[in-house]
Amino acid sequence: MRPEPKVPAVALAAIRAPFLEAGAERVDPPILQPLGLLLELAGEALRARLFVVQSEGGEEACLRPDFTAAIARLHLASAAAEGRYYYEGTAFRAAPGGDRPEEFLQVGLEIYDQGGTPAAGADAEVAALAWRAAAAGGRKDLSLWLGDVALFGALIDSLGLAPVLAQRLRRAAARPRLLAAELARAGAEPEAPGSGALATRLAGLSETEAAALLEEVWALAGIEPVGGRGPAEIAQRLVRKAEAARTPALSPAQAEAIRAFLAIAAPLDQALEAVDEIGGEAPALSAALGGWAERVERLIRAGAPVERLMFAARLGHTFDYYDGLTFEVRSEALGPERPVAVGGRYDSLPARLGGAQTTRAVGAMVRPWRAYAGGEA
Amino acid sequence: MIEPLILAVPSKGRLKEQVEAWLADCRLDLAAAGGARGYTGALKGLPDVHVRLVSAGEIAEALDAGDVHLGVTGEDLLRERGGEVDQRVLLLRPLGFGRADLVVAVPKSWLDVDDMADLEEVAHDILARTGRRMRVATKYLVQTRAFFARHGVADYRIVESGGATEGAPAAGVAELVVDITTTGSTLAANGLKVLSDGVILKSQAQLMASLRASWTTAQLATAERFLRIVEARAAALQTASLVWPGGADGEVTRERLPLSEVAAAAAELTARRLGPVSSYRSDFVFQTDSPAFEALKVRIST
């Protein structure tokens, strides 16, 4: 395992200072986290980056790849409604074949609440905090990049697409390949009605009748059902699939709008103008953009750097659990692949871990060795 | 004595028998030291080759680590090593046996799922409906992960399987499997079907070389001799010589052709009143060049 060099104490204290001022409780979650739970939350793609450990006969565990899930578990175990947590510790990510550190220091803050106050307040606080901590490392080439996973959804809503297509596109947001395939299909002719005779028959039936018909088909074909999906579920999806096949693909103009949106990466004011232009008069996108005006104002009041605010439409889309604002502090020298700080809103994560549906969460993490001017090169 | 070239071959099962038959066919009969249960051996006619008999999975590992120079094992096992395996191990020759496909198989009762795009949607539905990810039973973690990522399938979990993977859906421990199949009949007997675009790898036994092993000039020379014999035997099996009286003063003409073209060429000659046409098979056909050795030499020297 390649460890990261130590950040000099003075520099580390400067990077840590904004977190100490945030009035948060210091927590120190376990280094060992349950492997199954982390893969359940983040998906199998994370497995290649994890150090997996297991004691004889014990449950499979992994070294924490970051603190987000670990602190979510602490918070939920405490049964508290709200919480502000500050952490500082080592995280571990495998980087085989490379020269990146695999054991590195992270400092961060996670805020949990029940939605009594506007989300924009906590969003701004956390993003500005990440900025101040990163900037305290002394680098002069930093910028604060913002993104918004919800904005893509608003764009899709504004295009007035058939529900099945809109759903597919929303899902594709975090999957570059799926999205590219969907965009490439733009202008394609839908299938002629009449395809899928079984689906056509199922479409007219009640759920019970459809399930019964499907079981009949299984019996006729000599199929012994295995696996966890029942007949009603499969019947429903057969109907939806036939419907999707008859739904027109994106028009070339719609595909162009999505492409143009995803390509946006510019200083914040210009970027938001570009989003506005793509959205035209669409109310869904205007509403989402309206929220941004307030968010920017709060950010600046909280200490974010006006002249170094950037916006990228794709930011954070590949992370499954972000669902609102996303941000990164990037250094020009380190490039977008090695951000100095990252964070965002992940309201759906607590519920997935068994927390209340109303629990909201937002957090930020800084890598001191990257923030430190004499550090990672 | 010079440093021997180390060749790893499977120590058990059907693959062992097939490799032994292949070596014997090349007149390189394998003699295990200490009888049939020995774990080292030698090749007849190539005294500078030291044979190690180990399990097929360990051969992939040993090639990857550079513990052996050459080895014969299934490509499926090599690909499971992960990372940029092509940087570490070179495939020299497919051997035409040990064929097996690594496939994605779902329950036949999933009438709505024909391809990976369907699977992606179903995975998402399962997560949305149950809050849990779809479970895939397999022992091929690396290839499953890469293949699913390529098809944009993200909402799934791997359940590691030690054996009898095909029974996992019926046992209720997974929804689908990624497994090796030769005829598909075991999958079908377990109520599973292969997705139309669900073939991850068409695998067979391959002769492979480790690029991480230390290669001396003498070991390279031994490898060249070995590879030339193997290639000469393969060329002999795939071709025949056609001989017919076609020269000016009763001299015969010879031409070497792939087996599949022999009959047509003979028919063409006899139609032109050239005959009789005879075809001969050879034991070995040594070419001046050796593609496998050239490839190895280039990769070793860089």
Residues A34-79: pLDDT tens digits?
A: 998 888 888 888 888 899 998 888 888 999 999 999 999 999 999 8
Residue A331 has pLDDT above 90, yes or no: yes
pLDDT, tens digit, 9 for 90 and up, residues A139-180: 999 999 999 888 888 888 888 888 888 888 888 877 777 888
- Set out the domains of chain A in order of their start, with CATH numbers: 9-154+259-371 (3.30.930.10), 197-246 (no CATH)
| pLDDT at res. A188 | 83
Q: Which residue has the higher pLDDT, A100 or A91?
A: A91
Cis? peptide before A339, omega within 30° of 0? no
| pLDDT at res. A205 | 84
What average pLDDT is seen over chain A?
A: 88
| pLDDT at res. B129 | 86
The beta-carbon neighbor of B109 closest among A181, A226, A352 is: A226
| pLDDT at res. A276 | 87
pLDDT, tens digit, 9 for 90 and up, residues A212-244: 999 999 999 889 888 779 999 999 898 888 888
A44 touches B at CB < 8 Å: yes
Q: Which residue has the higher pLDDT, A371 or B151?
A: A371
The Cα B193–Cα B7 span in angstroms is 38
Do residues A257 and A155 make contact, with C-beta atoms less than 8 angstroms apart? yes
Torsion of CA B222, B223, B229, B231, to 10 degrees: -160
The Cα B211–Cα B296 span in angstroms is 8
Instruction: Residue window 311-370, chain A: list those with CB within 8 Å of chain B.
Output: 320, 352
| pLDDT at res. B35 | 64
Dihedral sign of CA atoms A151, A285, A112, A109 in order:
positive
| pLDDT at res. B100 | 93
Residue A189: pLDDT band with limits 50, 70, 90: confident
Question: By CA distance, what is A348's nearest residue in B?
Answer: B131
The Cα A180–Cα A182 span in angstroms is 5
The beta-carbon neighbor of A97 closest among B83, B111, B126 is: B83
**B5-98+204-235+291-301: CATH class:** alpha beta
The Cα A209–Cα A288 span in angstroms is 42
- Residue ranges in chain B whose pLDDT is less than 70: 1, 35-38, 247-250, 302
Q: Which residues of A touch B127 (CB under 8 A)?
A: none
The beta-carbon neighbor of B83 closest among A44, A96, A238 is: A96
Q: In terms of pTM, does the model score above 0.90?
A: no
Residue A134 has pLDDT above 70, yes or no: yes
Return the CATH architecture of domain B100-203. 3-Layer(aba) Sandwich (3.40)
| pLDDT at res. B283 | 94
Q: At A331, is the secondary structure helix, strand, or coil?
A: strand
Contact pairs from chain A to chain B, CB under 8 Å: 97
pLDDT, tens digit, 9 for 90 and up, residues B241-269: 999 987 666 678 888 999 999 999 999 99
| pLDDT at res. A320 | 64
Q: Which residues of B touch A227 (CB under 8 A)?
A: 106-107, 109-110, 169, 174-176
Q: At B57, is the secondary structure helix, strand, or coil?
A: helix
User: Which residues of chain B are at the A interface, by a Cβ-Cβ cutoff of 8 Å?
Assistant: 82-84, 106-112, 118, 120-122, 124-126, 129, 131-133, 141, 144-145, 148-152, 154-158, 169-170, 172, 174-176, 190-192
